[in-house]
Amino acid sequence: MAGNETIVRIQFDEVVGLAEEIFIACGVGREESHMLSESLARADARGIMSHGVVRVPSYVDQFENGRFSKETRLDAVRETLFSTVLDANNGLGSVASYKSVELTKKKARENGIAFTAVRNSNHYGAAGLWSSMIAEDKDLIGFTSTTSILIVAAPTGAGRAIGSNPISIAVPAEMHPNLCLDISMGNMAQGKIWEYKRLNKPFPDDFWLGPDGEVTTDPNKFALEEYVMIPFGMHKGFGLGVVLEMLTSGLSGGAFHRQYVGFTKEQLPLCHCFGAMRIDAFMDPADYRKNVDEYIDYLHGLPSRHGAAPIMFPGEIEAKVEADAKMNGVKIPSQVLADMRASAVKYGVDTSAYAKFLSAAI
């Protein structure tokens, strides 16, 4: 992020609207453009800018060079009352995920529990979006994971072994925002390297390997995409990433990470999975949510270490940022707006409805 950049506040619907118009102009259907745009804008609204509309130009490029199918056709490969295997035919990860979440929720409501595995898909954005969508009606617990490009090393390994393979679990609360765990298997998100590079600040010594397979603390020795993440908690994060792959690539019958060797960009068919379970199969959902609330209150009431921040629950930061974005608009860097404007101009999108916010672009 450049030093002279400013952050602009844009209403959520406007962010979605402009991104949507751009994708439609690229030849993507209206419904699919909307699903993709909403997933990007929602990531921004939750403070996960790396997965937000900063990616619009990259999507445009990839539509242009035929990297993605503009249409996301989902074929059911195998199906039971609770299970579904879907082939996304190289369509959009967001669209495949949106539809998979809808299907998983529907089957869970009918059957009590449902699990969906998806293959031949693409990057699905922030995992927490999809588990949140499952838990948002307050009656279901939501689960998701996805494969990604190879980016995490094995605990004793010298190179790329597994993807960031995030796990997200969302659990409804009543008065508090829902609990939403969203963690990936690397010790630090790759996006944060930029900040260390900018400040020329050494990395902690358990975060990164260089392409030479050795631990590195030098943020300027390699290009961003050459660094390999050390897994969080070493064998624990690594092991979790391995078993999660058995639920994504494994159950969907899709591509495994063993087929990803040599690729460092997102150009491989990814696999996802989604789970939903009805709380009322176990106990009264209102009582359950009350217990979740009380547990959050318990966590909030615990003492902090001397000088340290208050204790927060999983998803609390994202929920706070999202509440603020709802009130005051989504924070978008002016450079990102400028890039969206360039994409809009390129495809002859009528941006008159967005003139006010585009004027805030650099």
Task: State which residue, 19 or 179, has the beta carbon closest to its own copies.
Answer: 179
The CA distances from residue 327 to 45, 49, 220, 340, 357, in Å, are: 11, 18, 39, 23, 17
Burial of 99: CB neighbours in 10 Å, binned 0-12, 13-18, 19+: buried
Shortest distance, CB of residue 44 to its own copies, whole angstroms? 21
Task: State which residue, 110 or 218, has the beta carbon closest to its own copies.
Answer: 110
Q: At what angle do helices 30-45 and 93-111 cross, to 10 degrees?
A: 90
Task: State which residue, 83 or 217, has the beta carbon closest to its own copies.
Answer: 83
Quick count: other Cβ atoms within 10 Å of Cβ 301?
A: 9
Task: State which residue, 97 or 249, has the beta carbon closest to its own copies.
Answer: 249
What whole-number distance in Å separates Cα of residue 39 and Cα of residue 56? Answer: 11
Shortest distance, CB of residue 89 to its own copies, whole angstroms? 18
What whole-number distance in Å separates Cα of residue 242 and Cα of residue 50? Answer: 24
Shortest distance, CB of residue 164 to its own copies, whole angstroms? 12
CB 75 within 8 A of CB 40: no
Shortest distance, CB of residue 300 to its own copies, whole angstroms? 10
Task: State which residue, 57 or 112, has the beta carbon closest to its own copies.
Answer: 112
Shortest distance, CB of residue 50 to its own copies, whole angstroms? 17
Shortest distance, CB of residue 243 to its own copies, whole angstroms? 4
The CA distances from residue 89 to 74, 77, 268, 272, 303, in Å, are: 7, 12, 12, 13, 51
Task: State which residue, 7 or 317, has the beta carbon closest to its own copies.
Answer: 317
Shortest distance, CB of residue 75 to its own copies, whole angstroms? 15
What whole-number distance in Å separates Cα of residue 207 and Cα of residue 187? Answer: 6
**Bridge partners for 163 per DSSP:** 150
Task: State which residue, 71 or 293, has the beta carbon closest to its own copies.
Answer: 293
Nearest to 337 by CA among 60, 128, 54, 83: 54
CB 344 within 8 A of CB 351: yes
